[in-house]
A and B are shown apart, each in its own frame.
Chain A
Amino acid sequence: MHCDHVLLEVRSLVRLNVNVSFELHRGECITLQGASGSGKTLILRAIADLDPSDGTVTLDGAMRESMPAPVWRRQVTFVAAEPGWWADTVRQHFAAWDEALPLVKELGLPSSSAEWNIQRLSTGERQRLGLVRALVLGSRVLLLDEPTSGLDADATAAAEAMIAKRVKAGTGVIWVTHDADQARRVASRRFTIKNGRMTEERT
């Protein structure tokens, strides 16, 4: 599925007690699994440069520190398990709602959701809209922290299909999940984090 072009290279990335090194290729989806508190989210946040960390992270050979952090994050985008919201309605969280609408519909939400109040959204609705909000950026790498944990089976399948399309188009994805079946479905390589180290799962 993926080509050999190294998109994201992570070398000795250290955040608290976690130390990892790996490569992500263009058009590749890898999964991170591990017990709660093992450091999966820490790694995603450190790659997105949301927390201070040691080590090197490069995108297409360009060092993370060589570009302004907002530019980096528009290319290497972190999607939290519980996305945050800063305005009253859904529409206010999108620069161009028209661009987001097809994706919103694909994930089973109506076009009228634009005017929904954030306070009345369910966990699943928040998760789907949070995912769309990141997808419209067209990032090179997506760092997904349990993006379907609050979704039912149909919505999960729709989200997986949508992300698979992006992967096919060349986006690199690092996907944190607790669901081993999902990891097998979506990933070309699966990693587990234990005792601060990341190991590839061989099947």
Chain B
Amino acid sequence: MTYIRLDYSDLLLPALLVVMIGICSIALQLRLERQLAIATVRMVAQLALVGYVLTFLFAAVSPLWTALAAILMVLFASQEIGVRQKRPLRGGWSYVLGAACTLMASATVTTFALLTQLRPDPWYNPRYALPLLGMILGNTMTGISLGLDVLTNGLVRDRAAVEARLALGDSRYHALLPVTRDALRSGLMPTVNAMAAMGLVSLPGMMTGQILAGVEPVDAVKYQLLVMFLIAGGTGLGTLVAVVGGTYRLTDRRHRLRLDRLGPET
């Protein structure tokens, strides 16, 4: 297996493309140049750092360090989920729910893949566990974030309809069902769309990366399929639990809609 090795200096020319976008932003007064510059610097710094961290973790093969890295990744994901909410749940519940659901879904699916299909030695080998977790986590985070956002906004928008059903004696499950369905659909749609377009419209990053690194395309496809099945499972599980958890938090035992548990619009 051979691949064309890149030096950091090899990245200078492609980086000019970003500079070109920045110049366009200035010329067209898009006012994106500052954000673009910050995002570019952040990306370079974060990825460079992660390269060194992963090198250390792969060499250490320690369950403790691997678990610590996984927990940090989940915490960053829950932070992202909280920040992306237009109307977050009061008392940090968006973060708690986000962290609990991403951890539960991505840990379950990653462990499942490590123990049944990949079976590395040891089973928590960070070379397999962390990249797999990262891919599942990123998609699960998007699903949960979208699902919770559509749920909270939908309940605020359809408050009169939901309360009319509650007033007529419907349970909270029935009264919230249309909004819950919308939220679940929104959370799962990016994954479904990605699966449908894969191979025709887009060549996924992981598969492309493996091919560039010298893996046979047929083998890279098998890995990609495995990852997509895991992503679908993780996103579905995480979004489902998060949205159901959100409906519980926004109602109470007396089947009342509790929008007072939502924070102000951000």
Contact = CB atoms under 8 A, between A and B. Distances in A.
A166 interface: no
A9 interface: no
Interface in A11-68: 48-52, 65, 68
Given A71-B169, A74-B169, A84 B163 contact: yes
B255 A70 contact: yes
Interface residues of A, number: 25
B165 A86 contact: yes
B176 to A, nearest CB: 10
Contact of A73 (B158, B160, B168, B252): B168
B69 to A, nearest CB: 43
Contacts of B169: 70-71, 73-74, 77, 137
B168 to A, nearest CB: 7
A102 to B, nearest CB: 19
A49 B171 CA distance: 13
B160 A69 contact: no
A116 interface: no
Report the interface size class on chain B. Answer: 20 to 34
B166 to A, nearest CB: 6
A83 B254 CA distance: 21
B253 to A, nearest CB: 8
B166 A50 contact: yes
Nearest to A93: B164
A69 B163 contact: no
B254 A80 contact: no
B256 interface: yes
Nearest to B171: A70
Contacts, number: 66
Given A69-B254, A69-B256, A86-B178, A50 B168 contact: no
B168 A74 contact: yes
B17 to A, nearest CB: 48
A82 interface: yes
A52 B163 CA distance: 14
B261 to A, nearest CB: 11
B255 A77 contact: no
A73 B166 contact: yes
Given A49-B254, A69-B256, A134 B161 contact: no
Of listed B161, B178, B253, B254, residue having the most chain A CB within 10 A: B254
Contact of A52 (B162, B165, B168, B256): B256
Given A73-B169, A77-B169, A79-B167, A84 B162 contact: yes
Nearest to A73: B169
Contact of A51 (B160, B165, B171, B256): B256
A48 to B, nearest CB: 6
Contacts of A51: 256
Given A74-B169, A86-B178, A80 B255 contact: no
B167 A50 contact: yes
B170 interface: yes
Given A80-B160, A84-B163, A133 B255 contact: no
Contacts of A68: 255
Contacts of B171: 70
B168 A133 contact: yes
A84 B171 CA distance: 16
Contacts of B178: 86
Nearest to B167: A78
7 contacts: A50-B163, A52-B254, A65-B254, A69-B253, A71-B169, A86-B161, A134-B168
Interface of A: 48-52, 65, 68-71, 73-74, 77-80, 82-86, 130, 133-134, 137
